[in-house]
A and B are shown apart, each in its own frame.
Chain A
Amino acid sequence: MVNRILALLIKELLANLRDKRGRLVLIVPPLIQLFIFSFAATQEVKNQTLAILNLDRGRPALTLERDFAAAATFGAVLHLQRAEEIPEVIDRQQAIAVLWIPEDFSRELKRGGTAQASFILDGRKTNAAQIVQGYAMRILDDYRAEWSAQGQAGGVRLESRNWFNPNLDFRWYTVPSLVCILTTVVGLLVTGLSVAREREMGTFEQLLVSPLQPLEILIGKALSALLIAMVEGAFIVLVGVTVLGVPMNGSLPLLFGGMAVFLLAIIGVGLFVSSLSMTQQQAVLGAFMFLVPATILSGFASPIENMPHWLQTISFANPLRYFMTIVRGIFLKDVTAAVVWAQTWPMAVIACVTLSLATWLFKRRME
Chain B
Amino acid sequence: MKAMADSSLVIENLSYAYGKTLPLALDGLSATIRPGIVTGLVGPDGAGKTTLLRLLTALLLPTAGSIRVFGLDTRDAAEPLHRIIGYMPQKFGLYDDLSVKQNLRLYADMQGLSAPERRLAFARLLTFTGLEPFQERLAGRLSGGMKQKLGLACALIRKPRLLLLDEPSVGVDPVSRRELWRMVGELVDAETAVIWSTAYLDEAEKCREVLLLDGGRLIFSGPPGTLTERVAGRCFQVRGISGNRRRVLARALQQPEVQDGIVQGRDVRIVLRSGQAPPAPMCLDAGESSWLEPVAPRFEDAYVDVLGGGPGGISALASAMAPWAGEREVTVEAAGLTKRFGDFTAVSEIDFSIRRGEIFGLLGPNGAGKSTIFKMLCGLLRPSAGSGRVGGFDLRSSPSQARSCLGYMAQKFSLYSDLSTRQNLEFFSGIYGLSGARRKETVARMIDIFGLRPQLQASAKDLPLGFKQRLALACAVMHEPAVLFLDEPTSGVDPLTRREFWTHINGLVERGVTVLVTTHFMDEAEYCDRIGLIYRGRMIASGPPDELKIQAASAALPDPTLEETFIALLRQWDEGEGAKA
Chain A residues packing against B (C-beta within 8 Å): 3-4, 6-8, 10-11, 14-15, 18-19, 22, 201-213, 366-367
Residues of B within 8 A of A209 (CB): 378-380, 403, 406, 408, 485
Q: Are A8 and B485 in contact (CB under 8 A)?
A: no
Q: Which residues of B contact A213 (CB under 8 A)?
A: 400
Q: Is the CB of B382 within 8 A of A367?
A: yes
| B190 at interface by CB-CB < 8 Å | no
A21 nearest CB neighbor, chain B only: B418
A178 CB, min distance to chain B CBs, angstroms: 28
Is there contact, CB below 8 Å, between B410 and A206?
A: yes
Are A8 and B431 in contact (CB-based, < 8 A)? Answer: yes
In the complex, how many angstroms separate the beta carbon of B30 from the nearest chain A beta carbon? 40
**Contact between chains at A10 and B430 (CB < 8 Å):** yes
A18-B459, A201-B414 are contacts. A210–B431 as well, Cβ < 8 Å? Answer: yes
Find out whether the CB atom of B414 lies under 8 angstroms from the CB atom of A8.
no
- Closest beta carbon of chain A to B462's beta carbon, Å: 11
22 pairs, CB–CB < 8 Å, chain A vs chain B: A4-B431, A6-B430, A7-B427, A8-B427, A11-B419, A11-B427, A11-B430, A14-B419, A15-B416, A18-B420, A18-B423, A19-B418, A201-B414, A203-B415, A203-B416, A204-B414, A205-B408, A209-B378, A209-B379, A209-B403, A210-B428, A211-B401
Task: Verify A18–B403 contact, CB threshold 8 A.
Answer: no
In the complex formed, the residue of B with least CB distance to A206 is B414
Q: Are B419 and A210 in contact (CB under 8 A)?
A: no
B residues near A205, Cβ cutoff 8 Å: 375, 380, 408, 410, 414
Docked pose: A7 CA to B478 CA in angstroms: 15
- Inter-chain contacts of A8 with B (CB < 8 A): 427, 430-431
Please, which residue of chain B has its CB at the minimum distance from the CB of A213?
A: B400
Q: Are A211 and B415 in contact (CB under 8 A)?
A: no
A204 to B400, CA, bound (A): 16
A18: chain B residues within 8 A (beta carbon): 418-420, 423, 459
With A14-B419, A15-B416, A206-B414 as contacts: A211 and B433 at CB distance below 8 Å? yes
Are A202 and B410 also in contact (CB < 8 A) when A19-B418, A209-B378, A210-B403 are?
yes
Chain B, residue nearest A17 (CB): B418
Contacts of A22 in B (CB 8 A): 418
In the complex, what's the smallest C-beta–C-beta distance from B404 to chain A, in angstroms?
Answer: 4
Q: Do B423 and A14 have beta carbons less than 8 Å apart? A: yes
CB atoms of B430 and A202 under 8 A apart: no
Minimum CB–CB distance from B441 to chain A (whole Å) comes to 15
B526 at interface, CB cutoff 8 A: no
B353 lies within 8 A of chain A by Cβ: no
- By beta carbon, the residue of chain A nearest B414 is A206
Besides A4-B430, A11-B423, A206-B408, 13 more A-B contacts (Cβ < 8 Å) are A7-B427, A10-B426, A10-B427, A14-B419, A15-B418, A202-B410, A205-B414, A208-B380, A211-B401, A211-B404, A211-B432, A366-B380, A367-B381
Which of B403, B410, B416, B433 is A11 in contact with, Cβ under 8 Å?
Answer: B416
In the complex, B417 has a CB within 8 A of chain A = yes
Q: Which residues of A are found within 8 Å of B430, using beta-carbon distances?
A: 3-4, 6-8, 10-11
Beyond A15-B416, A18-B418, A203-B415, whether A212 also contacts B379 by CB under 8 A is no
Count residues on chain B whose CB falls below 8 Å from chain A CBs.
Answer: 33
Which residue of the partner chain B has the closest CB to A19?
B418
Nearest chain B CB to A66 CB, angstrom units: 66
A39 to B428, CA, bound (A): 47
- Closest CB-CB distance, A168 to chain B, in whole Å? 46
Chain A residue at smallest Cβ distance from B404: A211
Residue of A nearest to B381 (CB): A367
> Residues 336-376 of chain B: 1 if any A CB is under 8 Å from the residue's CB, otherwise 0?
00000000000000000000000000000000000000010
Contacts of B428 in A (CB 8 A): 210
Find out whether the CB atom of B379 lies under 8 angstroms from the CB atom of A211: no
A16 to chain B, nearest CB (A): 8
B residues less than 8 Å from A11 (CB atoms): 416, 419, 423, 427, 430
| Nearest CB on B from A145, distance (A) | 61
Shortest distance between the CB of A287 and any CB in chain B (Å): 20
CB nearest neighbor in A for B424: A11
Q: Does B276 contact A (CB under 8 A)?
A: no
**Are B419 and A4 in contact (CB-based, < 8 A)?**
no
CB within 8 Å of A: which B375-413 residues: 375, 378-382, 400-401, 403-404, 406, 408, 410, 412
Q: A15 to B426: give the CA distance in the assembly, Å.
A: 13
Which residues of A have CB within 8 Å of B375?
Answer: 205
Chain A residues with CB below 8 A from B429, complex form: 7
Measured between beta carbons, the chain A residues less than 8 angstroms from B433 are 3-4, 211
Q: Verify if B572 is at the interface (C-beta below 8 Å from A).
A: no
A318 smallest CB distance to B (angstroms): 33
CB pair A202–B412 under 8 Å, yes or no, is: yes
- Closest chain-B Cβ to A223's Cβ sits at a distance in Å of 14
Q: Closest CB of chain A to B541's CB: distance in Å?
A: 28
CA distance A4 to B404 in the complex (A): 12
- Which residues on A sit within 8 Å (CB–CB) of B426? 7, 10
- CB-nearest residue of chain A to B406: A209
| B242: interface (CB < 8 Å) | no
Say yes or no: B431 contacts A211, CB within 8 Å.
yes
Chain B residues in 8 Å Cβ range of A366 = 380
Across the A-B interface, give the 4 residue pairs with the lowest CB-CB distance, nearest first: A7-B430, A206-B414, A211-B404, A202-B412
In the bound complex, how far is the Cα of B428 from the Cα of A208, in angstroms?
Answer: 12
